[in-house]
Chain A
């Protein structure tokens, strides 16, 4: 009898806990990172079937709005994912994108001086397990650490737990503006941090550089034209000397591979780079900034795209 009562109590206790966690899970899932399911939805069930895709990390997710790049029949989708470095993107391209999505004509890679630093871009393939079809879950982990990430990231209350205090204390401040979402792009709300200089010196990881080269090889092999775009950062908050080495490396890669490199952060400096009203923080454009920048990018890309489209149409005419 006593055993039964104890068992009932345990079941009740665990049920209440489960209900609390399910509710938290639902709430956090809905509130945070609402764009990932939409981006992955496009990969697995293509609706846009873009000719031009945008890859990179958060600065590209929130910085390049495909709406402004679309022209005539050219469809654009932004597949950049927050915190995604080259090794993530290589794995993502080979295992997720290539088997499921129609081959695009162009890739705009949102390069960044911090893109080879594993401490700055931490997203791993396992982090996105929630969005993968179930068959990925079991054959993609190689060790206990990967298994942990795969399993844990299925649940928003674990994955987004660090965001809870932020949500609780700043509940009225929307971070990602889902209503303005367009083809993978989502504006990022101003969070501050423009008032002081950031002493961030990226440490370039050899593994990340190698992965990036491999990814570029893949594009080359598949005859996808690659364009490097470095999105504007807020200049007054940065020490230029810190990024010199990374920039030399990126320029060399672009030069060796004859890749068009539109660098709006260190070369093609505009008003955007020094206008605080354009930024959500020192490296991310806000909605206003992304609109201005995407228009600027479009005008620069137009000539190149017209050339390419004309060339592609030649055999049929």
Chain B
């Protein structure tokens, strides 16, 4: 079920009201059933795939807790491999297989294995990672295995974060299913406000920008200059609004019922450096890779070159997590390379800043850093969004084409109106982005959960009305799926 669908408009209040009406001891079962319905709206049969992952990791958790020594490690490996096997079959098999076919063709080998025709279960990468974090935490002794199968199943399937995160850790979410949540008016209102904000980002900004982005990337060779720049920048904002919008709705929906999910975004476009950016972007995934891949590899404790390798490997793997394609792998590697490069040139850049006296005007310096980080992120996303690597190469090499003269700029600007949005719609979407920046500029991450708390009533109410009216009048309501569902 999509959050921005009519079904959810009925599902959410019904489930929430019933949740508070049902006695505490039956709530887990009710939430589990509701989550099953939520998931089965997509492809019902895939509930069995999810059930298999849950059964594997539930059993693995219990066995690992009871075992010690080498056997414990073997159990962990078996559990990780079995959980990942599901992911590999559905998500990566065809990718690796098609590459093997190409290699076989090159060497004229006989390679008999064909492609599988499977649809990727929605949110598979998210709940696989959540399941893995549970088994690893039990193995490390940081968390006791959950003995209640239903509660464990609910940990994996809890509907607000089932299909696109935030990727939860057992320490945070599992104990909350035992807590008795009562109706707290302030908490419920804050949750609803956060949901409203998420919907604003999704349907008013992301889906509107999506029209331009889809138009540009459907056949980029038709465009040069400004439309390509707009496509690249808009996609960066679209991905952020789409995914952080989803996270806000998920966190808000859970908060209404009394659950506290992890934060997933902390105004990444306000980050002055790439390292800072990745601390603020998709925090639940990045911290997952940090805790379960980067640190076990040695992190930054094993010398500079090994540290660089660890960064490169972790980001390449995160690229592969996003999608089974060389474009995603390359995107991940590029992000890793940029982090390495920025560390490598840190001293040089500081000297340069001193030489041009940029450090004497810190506001301008910071603004420049923020703009550069954002632009660089959008630039790398060209690979992420393009259908083929040759499309990506075309976009990257034609961003400035035709902008050498005033006439060229005028022509390029005019072609902006052929990208699916007319002038007024473009103005409205830019105003909406401005509004988002304003709100995210004045509210810190902590305050987003209690948006506008402590501010004058008039300011708060005006903002609420503006957001609601923008949602009603300027939102795109085509039940467009969230981008991160495909992962």
**Chain A contacts for B474, CB-based, 8 A:** 161, 164-165
- The reply to whether B185 and A6 form a contact with Cβ atoms under 8 Å apart is yes
- The reply to whether B472 and A157 form a contact with Cβ atoms under 8 Å apart is yes
Option from B7, B424, B469 in Cβ contact (under 8 Å) with A165: B424
Number of interface residues of A (CB under 8 A): 18
- Pick the most buried of A13, A16, A158: most chain B CB atoms within 10 A of its CB: A13
Interface residue? B473 (CB, 8 A): yes
**Chain B contacts for A157, CB-based, 8 A:** 472-473
Complex formed: what's the CA distance from A17 to B473 in Å?
A: 14
- The reply to whether A148 and B6 form a contact with Cβ atoms under 8 Å apart is yes
Complex formed: what's the CA distance from A20 to B473 in Å?
A: 12
Question: For residues 442 through 479 of chain B, which have their beta carbon under 8 Å from a beta carbon of chain A?
Answer: 461, 464-465, 468-469, 472-474
Complex formed: what's the CA distance from A17 to B474 in Å?
A: 17
Interface residue? B428 (CB, 8 A): yes
Question: For residues 131 through 147 of chain A, which have their beta carbon under 8 Å from a beta carbon of chain B?
Answer: 144-145
Question: Can you name the residue of chain B whose Cβ is closest to the Cβ of A170?
Answer: B424
Question: Can you name the residue of chain B whose Cβ is closest to the Cβ of A3?
Answer: B185
- The reply to whether B424 and A158 form a contact with Cβ atoms under 8 Å apart is no
- B43 → chain A closest CB, angstroms: 18
Interface residue? A166 (CB, 8 A): yes
Question: Can you name the residue of chain A whose Cβ is closest to the Cβ of B469?
Answer: A20
- Pick the most buried of B465, B469, B474: most chain A CB atoms within 10 A of its CB: B469
- The reply to whether B465 and A17 form a contact with Cβ atoms under 8 Å apart is yes
- The reply to whether A161 and B424 form a contact with Cβ atoms under 8 Å apart is no
- The reply to whether A144 and B7 form a contact with Cβ atoms under 8 Å apart is yes
Question: Can you name the residue of chain B whose Cβ is closest to the Cβ of A7?
Answer: B185
Additional A-B contact list (16), CB under 8 Å, known A20-B465, A144-B6: A3-B185, A6-B185, A13-B461, A13-B464, A16-B465, A17-B468, A21-B472, A148-B6, A157-B472, A157-B473, A158-B472, A164-B474, A165-B428, A165-B474, A166-B424, A168-B424
- Pick the most buried of B6, B468, B474: most chain A CB atoms within 10 A of its CB: B6
Interface residue? A303 (CB, 8 A): no
Complex formed: what's the CA distance from A313 to B424 in Å?
A: 58
Q: Interface 1/0s, chain A 155-178, versus B by CB < 8 A?
A: 001100100111011000000000
**Chain B contacts for A3, CB-based, 8 A:** 185
- The reply to whether B7 and A161 form a contact with Cβ atoms under 8 Å apart is no
**Chain B contacts for A165, CB-based, 8 A:** 424-425, 428, 473-474
- Pick the most buried of B185, B461, B473: most chain A CB atoms within 10 A of its CB: B473
Complex formed: what's the CA distance from A6 to B188 in Å?
A: 12
Question: Can you name the residue of chain A whose Cβ is closest to the Cβ of B9?
Answer: A148
Question: For residues 1 through 28 of chain A, which have their beta carbon under 8 Å from a beta carbon of chain B?
Answer: 3, 6, 13, 16-17, 20-21
- List of 8 A-B pairs having minimum Cβ-Cβ separation, nearest first: A148-B6, A165-B424, A164-B473, A161-B473, A169-B424, A6-B185, A165-B428, A161-B472
**Chain A contacts for B468, CB-based, 8 A:** 17
- B418 → chain A closest CB, angstroms: 10
Question: Can you name the residue of chain A whose Cβ is closest to the Cβ of B6?
Answer: A148
Complex formed: what's the CA distance from A13 to B473 in Å?
A: 19
- B91 → chain A closest CB, angstroms: 30
Complex formed: what's the CA distance from A33 to B6 in Å?
A: 26
- Pick the most buried of A21, A165, A169: most chain B CB atoms within 10 A of its CB: A165
- Pick the most buried of A16, A145, A161: most chain B CB atoms within 10 A of its CB: A161
Complex formed: what's the CA distance from A313 to B122 in Å?
A: 69
Complex formed: what's the CA distance from A165 to B473 in Å?
A: 8
Q: Interface 1/0s, chain B 65-91, versus A by CB < 8 A?
A: 000000000000000000000000000
Question: For residues 384 through 440 of chain B, which have their beta carbon under 8 Å from a beta carbon of chain A?
Answer: 424-425, 428
CB pairs A–B below 8 angstroms (5 shown)? A16-B465, A20-B465, A144-B7, A165-B428, A165-B474
- A146 → chain B closest CB, angstroms: 11
Complex formed: what's the CA distance from A17 to B7 in Å?
A: 24
Complex formed: what's the CA distance from A178 to B425 in Å?
A: 27
Question: Can you name the residue of chain A whose Cβ is closest to the Cβ of B479?
Answer: A145
Question: Can you name the residue of chain A whose Cβ is closest to the Cβ of B474?
Answer: A165
**Chain A contacts for B464, CB-based, 8 A:** 13
Complex formed: what's the CA distance from A201 to B102 in Å?
A: 38
- A87 → chain B closest CB, angstroms: 21
Complex formed: what's the CA distance from A136 to B469 in Å?
A: 30
- A168 → chain B closest CB, angstroms: 8
Question: For residues 110 through 159 of chain A, which have their beta carbon under 8 Å from a beta carbon of chain B?
Answer: 144-145, 148, 157-158
**Chain A contacts for B469, CB-based, 8 A:** 20
Complex formed: what's the CA distance from A164 to B475 in Å?
A: 12
Complex formed: what's the CA distance from A144 to B402 in Å?
A: 49
Complex formed: what's the CA distance from A21 to B473 in Å?
A: 11
Complex formed: what's the CA distance from A145 to B474 in Å?
A: 21
Question: Can you name the residue of chain A whose Cβ is closest to the Cβ of B418?
Answer: A196
Q: Interface 1/0s, chain B 1-44, versus A by CB < 8 A?
A: 00000110000000000000000000000000000000000000
Complex formed: what's the CA distance from A161 to B472 in Å?
A: 7
**Chain A contacts for B7, CB-based, 8 A:** 144
Complex formed: what's the CA distance from A157 to B185 in Å?
A: 29
- A5 → chain B closest CB, angstroms: 11
- B63 → chain A closest CB, angstroms: 44
Complex formed: what's the CA distance from A17 to B250 in Å?
A: 25
**Chain A contacts for B465, CB-based, 8 A:** 16-17, 20
Question: Can you name the residue of chain B whose Cβ is closest to the Cβ of A152?
Answer: B6
- B393 → chain A closest CB, angstroms: 27
Complex formed: what's the CA distance from A168 to B185 in Å?
A: 37
Complex formed: what's the CA distance from A6 to B424 in Å?
A: 38
- B196 → chain A closest CB, angstroms: 12
**Chain B contacts for A164, CB-based, 8 A:** 473-474
Complex formed: what's the CA distance from A165 to B6 in Å?
A: 24
Question: For residues 53 through 106 of chain A, which have their beta carbon under 8 Å from a beta carbon of chain B?
Answer: none
Question: Can you name the residue of chain A whose Cβ is closest to the Cβ of B423?
Answer: A169
Question: Can you name the residue of chain B whose Cβ is closest to the Cβ of A149?
Answer: B6
- B187 → chain A closest CB, angstroms: 12
Complex formed: what's the CA distance from A110 to B72 in Å?
A: 77
Complex formed: what's the CA distance from A25 to B364 in Å?
A: 46
**Chain A contacts for B461, CB-based, 8 A:** 13, 16
- B193 → chain A closest CB, angstroms: 12
**Chain A contacts for B6, CB-based, 8 A:** 144-145, 148
- B384 → chain A closest CB, angstroms: 29
Complex formed: what's the CA distance from A13 to B461 in Å?
A: 8
Question: Can you name the residue of chain B whose Cβ is closest to the Cβ of A9?
Answer: B457
Complex formed: what's the CA distance from A148 to B468 in Å?
A: 19
- A157 → chain B closest CB, angstroms: 7
Question: For residues 161 through 201 of chain A, which have their beta carbon under 8 Å from a beta carbon of chain B?
Answer: 161, 164-166, 168-169
Complex formed: what's the CA distance from A166 to B422 in Å?
A: 10
